Every structure is written in C-alpha cells, then in structure tokens.
Amino acid sequence: MNKKRSFLRTAAAYPHMLWSLLFIVVPLLFVLYYALTVENPDGSFSFSFSNITALGSESYFPVFIRSICFAVVATLICLLLAYPLAYALSQCKVSSQRMLIMLVMLPMWMNLLIRTYSWMNILETNGVINNFFASIGLPRMQLLGNAGAVILGMVYNFLPYMVLPIYTVMSKIDRRYIEAAADLGCNGWQTMLRVILPLSASGVISGITMVFVPSVSTFYISQKMGNGRFEMIGDTIERQFMSNYDYHMGATLSLVLMVLIIVCLAVMNRFGDEDGGVLV
C-alpha cells in the first residue's frame, strides 16, 4: 500500500520530467548538434569542425576577449559598490531591513530594456545631464557610446544581484562573533578583515556568479549604451541568429559561451564550500 502510494506520488513529477527532457535537455543537445555541423547546399547537415575553428579568427576572438574583460570590470565594480551596501543594510534595524532590501530588489524586476533605456536618456547628448550642463554654461559631453557607458549599464542592471546574496549571508553572521572580536582587541577594520570578510565569502562568490554570467552574455546593454561600437558575444549571437539566419554559427557561439560559464562556475565552486547561492 505504501509503495503504491509512493509510486503514484513520484508519478506526479513525470509530466515535468517529460517537459524538461523535451524542452531543456534536447534543445541543449541541439546547440551541440548545430555547432558541430554545417549546412550542405541540398539542405542536409554534415559533421564539421569548421564552425569552431572559425572562432579563433579575427572576427570572433576579440569579441570573446572584450566580453570577458567588460564582464570582469563590471563584476568588480558591482562587488566594490555592493559589499559596503550589504554591510550597511545588515547593520540597520531588523524591521527596516526588510523594506530596504525590497527597495534594492525592486529595480531588478523592472524590465531590462526599460532600465537600460532610461539611462540612455539621462546620458544622451540632449539628455538630462547634458541639458543641465548646457544650462549652466558647461560644454556638452559625450557620455554615451563609450566603454564607460556600457560598464555603467551593466553595473546598474546587475548591482541588486550582487547585493542580495552578500546581504543574506551577512545578516546571518552571529553578532557574537563580532562582539568576541572586539573583546579580543580588534578595532573596526580588523574585525572587518578577519571576521566579517571570511564569513561573508560564500555570499561574495554567489554574487560574483550572479553578476558575471549575465554580464558576459548580455546583448542589449552593449548595443544601446555603446552605440553599437562594442560588439560582444551576445550581440554576435543575436546578429547571427536574427539577421544572418546562420544558425550554426549562432549555436557555436552559444556553445562556447556555455562552456565558458561552466568553467567559471567550476572555478568558483572550488573556492566556495557552500552549495550554490541564494536566490530571490
């Protein structure tokens, strides 16, 4: 009786398993398949490594390097901004912490397009900031279309993803550790370095992962904030897929992106002991 009931229960998961197999696993296999094949004139596919070797060429390799560099810089800036914020938040009154964290998370729920686009509007040559400059007699500055603008866009979009895990871990640090450190003679800075920093490390690693992954794969932010001057992996994939209809190249790029991310995650996991991260 028990076994039958148990079986019926697990059977409840079968629709989901079927769905996942069909729409999560199989598509990923297709990415692999399309990446390793090219289309013949008659429409059939033949196995070939030419897509992958094309990646080393001039048109693709710099794009990868650029994406990684931008993502690393954006992640670092996010970390530098988010860490003090998370600490400040964890020191507030418990009752206000909940509301403050919701305020931090709220922009995250805003559409990516809208968030990026509104920054564009502020930074444009005819935008809010430049209008202000003009009105007080300063020259208008070119605030968009450069690397800084792209990084700003990334940082703005992904900052909450960095704050949340760090804050969650910090708020769980037992206050008595901090008290003990003070009792043993540490001043504020030493406590930070020797107690809080190591204890919050898992949150930092989560946050880095949650910012690096979307940063390296974004396409809208780089297009809009950089005026199309900085093509990234995401932009290239989008172009191949939607404009060139070159599904094979698009798949190859996606495959490499996935591998890149898996490698980064694996490296991260070696540095962290806790499992995964904290999600919304």
Piece in contact with another protein (CB under 8 A), picked from 164-172, 179-187, 192-200, 250-258:
250-258
Structural contact between residues 180 and 196, judged by C-beta atoms closer than 8 angstroms: no
Rank residues 4 and 270 by Cβ distance to another protein and give the closer one: 4
- Which residues 6+ apart lie within 8 Å of 235 measured at CB? 63, 219, 222, 223
Q: CA-to-CA distance for 47 and 36, rounded, in angstroms?
A: 6
139 touches another protein by CB under 8 A: no
234 touches another protein by CB under 8 A: yes
**Count of residues that bind another protein according to CB under 8 A:** 81
Beta strands (DSSP E) in 82-184 are none
Q: To the nearest whole angstrom, how small is the minimum distance from the Cβ of residue 187 to another protein?
A: 12
Rank residues 26 and 65 by Cβ distance to another protein and give the closer one: 26
Interface pick for another protein out of 20, 40, 59, 244 (rule CB under 8 A)? 20
Structural contact between residues 141 and 130, judged by C-beta atoms closer than 8 angstroms: yes
Q: Please, what's the largest Cα pairwise distance for the chain?
A: 84
Rank residues 109 and 185 by Cβ distance to another protein and give the closer one: 109
Task: Give the amino acid at 254.
Answer: S
Site mask, another protein, residues 82-121, x = CB under 8 A?
--xx-xxx-x--------x-xxx-xx-xxxxxxx-xxx-x
Rank residues 2 and 57 by Cβ distance to another protein and give the closer one: 2
Q: To the nearest whole angstrom, how small is the minimum distance from the Cβ of residue 225 to another protein?
A: 12
95: its two tokens: 């009752």
- Which residues 6+ apart lie within 8 Å of 52 measured at CB? 35, 36, 252, 256
Strand partners, 147: none
Half-sphere exposure at residue 235, Cβ-oriented, CA atoms within 13 angstroms: 20
- Which residues 6+ apart lie within 8 Å of 35 measured at CB? 51, 52, 248, 251, 252, 254, 255
14 touches another protein by CB under 8 A: yes
13 touches another protein by CB under 8 A: yes
Site mask, another protein, residues 140-179, x = CB under 8 A?
----------------x--xx-------------------
Piece in contact with another protein (CB under 8 A), picked from 60-68, 169-177, 198-206, 209-217:
209-217
207 touches another protein by CB under 8 A: no
Interface pick for another protein out of 217, 225, 230, 231 (rule CB under 8 A)? 217
Site mask, another protein, residues 37-76, x = CB under 8 A?
------x---------------------------------
- Which residues 6+ apart lie within 8 Å of 82 measured at CB? 159, 162, 163, 166, 207
